[in-house]
Structure 1
Amino acid sequence: MTGKHTSKRETLVRFDEFDAMPPAPPLSPAFRALTDEDAEARAASDPDAGTIPPGFWDTAQPVGAETKEQITLRLDPDVLRHFRSQGKGYQSRINAVLKSYVKAKESAR
């Protein structure tokens, strides 16, 4: 296990193997008391939870995630200053802006 201090409030901990991880905290008594019907009702009322159609897993194929490519990019100082001023994750925000530009150009065709 390795720990890396990433900020004043958080420490990033990496485990070399799965078995080295501490056990998960136990489920709360309220959660353990849920019946299957209660769990299904909660899932059905969750707007982010979708239903999986019957037979979906019979034909599902795994898809590898597309990885990002590291490049060197020159940006105007004011552009870089703007994104950095918004805090951590500025590179991801720059990527999101560029991605939305690409989508807009592709849909305009």
Structure 2
Amino acid sequence: MKRLSVDEVRALKNAGKLHLSPDATEENLPEEFWANAEVVEHESRKSVHLRLDPEVFRFFKEEGDGKGHIKKMQDVLASYVRTMKASGRANP
């Protein structure tokens, strides 16, 4: 799955390559949505090589019946980061 910027979505829509639900049109959104909307650019993900203890890998692999274990590990790490930042214990 690729994240698109607002400009990329508009370009796809204008080219007729974006198929939306008939109910999900810009006209259905209140004007205040656009007044308060802001574009958020996300940093691209980094690829890393990570050696895990067999017990840790097995746990995540078995949690999802062999599927989604990498995503689950990412979610756990992201939750840890958010918790540390919220508590003020994260290094700047």
Q: Which runs of 5+ in 1 are unaligned?
A: 1-17, 25-38, 40-51
| CA shift in 2, pair 1:59/1:103, >3 Å | closer
Deviation, 1:106, is: 1.5
Q: Which has the higher helix share?
A: 2
| CA shift in 2, pair 1:62/1:107, >3 Å | closer
Q: Which runs of 4+ in 1 moved over 4 A?
A: none
Letter in 2 for 1:92: K
Q: Which has the higher strand share?
A: 1
Which residue among 50, 55, 77 is the counterpart of 2:54? 77
Deviation, 1:84, is: 1.1
Q: Structure 1-normalised TM-score?
A: 0.46
Q: Which runs of 5+ in 2 are unaligned?
A: 1-14, 24-28
Deviation, 1:79, is: 0.3
Letter in 2 for 1:96: D
Give the number of equivalent residue pairs.
65
- Root-mean-square deviation (CA, aligned residues, Å) is 3.3
1 or 2 for the larger relative contact order (CA 8 Å, sep ≥6)?
Answer: 2
Which residue among 91, 97, 102 is the counterpart of 2:81? 102
Instruction: Give percent identity, aligned residues only.
Output: 35
Higher-Rg structure is: 1
Which residue in 1 is equivalent to 2:71?
92
